[in-house]
Structure 1
């Protein structure tokens, strides 16, 4: 199991990427809490308390700096 405190920081801007069948949706969010086994994120369009963890949905969460604006 990874220690997620090394991957994300509180206040960091993130992108939540959802692949819904034929459409990809990308939501902006902010990391609220980081623990060894989970990350809590505020994604205004969805929830202010989204839970992410390894093996469940962490692969859908990316640092915002990985994206370029067009």
Structure 2
């Protein structure tokens, strides 16, 4: 998972850095019919790939950086 921050974060022992993320777990199943496909596994590679892609690109967003 890669999350782009809205600004650079300087890490030092002099100041605490804090990154707060939102996680919208519902977005994991965007485009997946969970009634027809209640289980995602290796036997359903296309659905498994869609869920993995959703997790990597849609689930996390930056709430704040300071």
TM-score interval (norm. to shorter): under 0.3
The structure carrying a bigger helix percent of its residues is 2
Per the normalisation by structure 2, the TM-score is: 0.28
Q: Work out which of the two has the higher radius of gyration on C-alpha atoms and give 1 or 2.
A: 2
The structure carrying a bigger strand percent of its residues is 1
